[in-house]
Chain A
Amino acid sequence: QVTLKESGPTLVKSTQTLTLTCTFSGFSLSTSGVGVGWIRQPPGKALEWLALIYWNDDKRYSPSLKSRLTITKDTSKNQVVLTMTNMDPVDTATYYCAHRQGVSGSYDYWGQGTLVTVSS
């Protein structure tokens, strides 16, 4: 059974750096083809893809946010970490991590999400 769960601060201040951790089970990030991504959703708005890390440590970032994002993995702990620098109130959103399906670029398992509020 595949599960993912996000953890991190619920409140950050403007200009601070956000660090979120995705802890997963039911799959290994050392298995060929596996990837874990981050997607966010501001309250009442649409989904926005942020970043993806593959089993081979290849990384992909949203072009519009690339300068602010870093994604890393700890295979031994079954964790993926996303950092976002220079947070702003517009970054207030629910942040999800998700398992990238191996046969396509879709995301077949999602965490419950964590709401991060950025105060000014």
Chain B
Amino acid sequence: EIVMTQSPATLSVSPGERATLSCRASQSISSSLAWYQQKPGQAPRLLIYGASTRATGIPARFSGSGSGTEFTLTISSLQSEDFAVYYCQQYYTWYTFGQGTKLEIK
């Protein structure tokens, strides 16, 4: 099973600043990676797939990068609605999710 490790577990950032979230795979997954945003009481929302392609309707302030085993989600200028939990997911072999990064207001 491919293990996905996200860091940090919690990230405190001020509105308007940049946030950088990391995700590492236990083995190479090429670019078979997605990022999701989840707010309390809501289903996850697809942000990025193919490691760097924004899903339909996702603002340009969200960007993804990386390939192989190291991936990054960057939110360029945090808006109030961006504070949530973020999950990475690999779909190279079956599907596994990371444990999540909680993005909180500093």
Contact = CB atoms under 8 A, between A and B. Distances in A.
Given A46-B87, A112-B43, A104 B94 contact: no
B55 interface: yes
Given A110-B44, A113-B43, A104 B49 contact: yes
Interface of A: 37, 46-49, 52, 60, 62-64, 96, 98, 101, 103-108, 110-113
Contacts of A108: 46, 49, 55-56
Contacts, number: 60
Interface of B: 1, 32, 34, 36, 43-46, 49-50, 55-56, 87, 89, 91-92, 94-100
A15 to B, nearest CB: 27
Contacts of B100: 46-47
Main secondary structure on chain A at its contact with chain B?
Answer: loop
B91 A47 contact: no
B55 to A, nearest CB: 6
Given A60-B94, A106-B55, A110-B45, 18 more contacts: A46-B98, A47-B100, A49-B96, A49-B97, A62-B94, A63-B94, A96-B43, A101-B46, A101-B49, A104-B32, A105-B34, A105-B92, A106-B34, A106-B89, A107-B34, A108-B46, A108-B49, A113-B43
Nearest to A99: B46
